[in-house]
Amino acid sequence: MQARQAKRILVAAVLCAAYRVAAAHAGVEITQKVTMPDPKGGTKTATHTTIIQGNRLKTITADGTTITDLDKGTMVALDDKSKTATEMPIQSFGGSLSNAFLGEFKPTGKKKTVNGFTCEEYTHDFKAPGSDVTSVSCIAKDAPGAAEAAAFYRRMSETMSGSKPSGSLPQGISVADEGTFKPAAIVVPGMPAETAKKIAEAQAKQTPRTSKSEVTSIKAVNLPAAEFEVPPGYTVRKVDPSTFKLPIPKPSAARAK
């Protein structure tokens, strides 16, 4: 149970990094349509809702709810069925999440309008657990909460990894994203050479996966602090990060800005 919840926290963390949604002191709620690969080789589309207020972020999906609190330094996954809250320190995701904010964001010069939001396109390459990621994001610099968005994610990246995010990180909200995930070797200290070879061979046979997201609405909200707390009646379980943390390749010093 704890391992499954911990993995869901990581998924939520990577998603919020990839989509770079908005933050604002008064609160912003963003609804996205997300299309992802499914286990059968097809795709599935789901709705994700993200609320950010101050130093807190709440992600709501069909799989459950995840709460990130920068002040407490925690990520918590809520399981409504079992009434449990699985808590992990956000530093556990330093490599897996902060890499999405490092390296160079390159403007392509293209502009478009997505559901009423005018945006500018950027490309960005980074490392995720077991994957090399190439993303194309369309950033709406004038959307509600745009200035606060960049500030929030800079704070989050620094809190998680202790590293400053890229100086080229766009100031705005990504209203459309497409990420291509190419399998990459995960080097685990002490792994036998034969095991590493088999993993590499299996990964070489995998095809790249593509995920897409599109913001359908952005609205201002002002929620009580209790909205970002573990609900009454839930049992809090704290997970040891050492049992879950994956080794993440670090970006080169030349690319980190």
Question: Does 248 or 28 have the greater pLDDT score?
Answer: 28
Q: How is the chain split into domains, by residue range?
A: 2-243
Residue 195 confidence (pLDDT) above 50: yes
Q: What pLDDT shows up at residue 168?
A: 78
CB atoms within 10 A of CB 4: 10
> Rounded to whole angstroms, how far apart are CA atoms 251 and 247?
13
Q: What pLDDT shows up at residue 132?
A: 83
Q: What pLDDT shows up at residue 31?
A: 93
Highest mean pLDDT among 56-65, 87-96, 150-159, 238-247: 56-65
pLDDT-derived band at 98, boundaries 50, 70, 90: low
Q: The tokens of 24 are what?
A: 């604002």
Tens-digit pLDDT profile for residues 37-62: 887 778 899 999 988 888 999 999 98
DSSP secondary structure string, 14-63? Answer: HHHHHH-----SS-EEEEEEEEEE-TTSSEEEEEEEEEEETTEEEEEETT
Tens-digit pLDDT profile for residues 134-188: 899 999 998 887 777 677 777 887 887 777 777 777 888 899 999 988 877 666 6
Q: Is the pTM of this model over 0.75?
A: no
Q: The tokens of 49 are what?
A: 């809702």
Q: What pLDDT shows up at residue 23?
A: 37
Domain 2-243 belongs to what topology?
outer membrane lipoprotein receptor (LolB), chain A (2.50.20)
Question: Does 222 or 189 have the greater pLDDT score?
Answer: 222
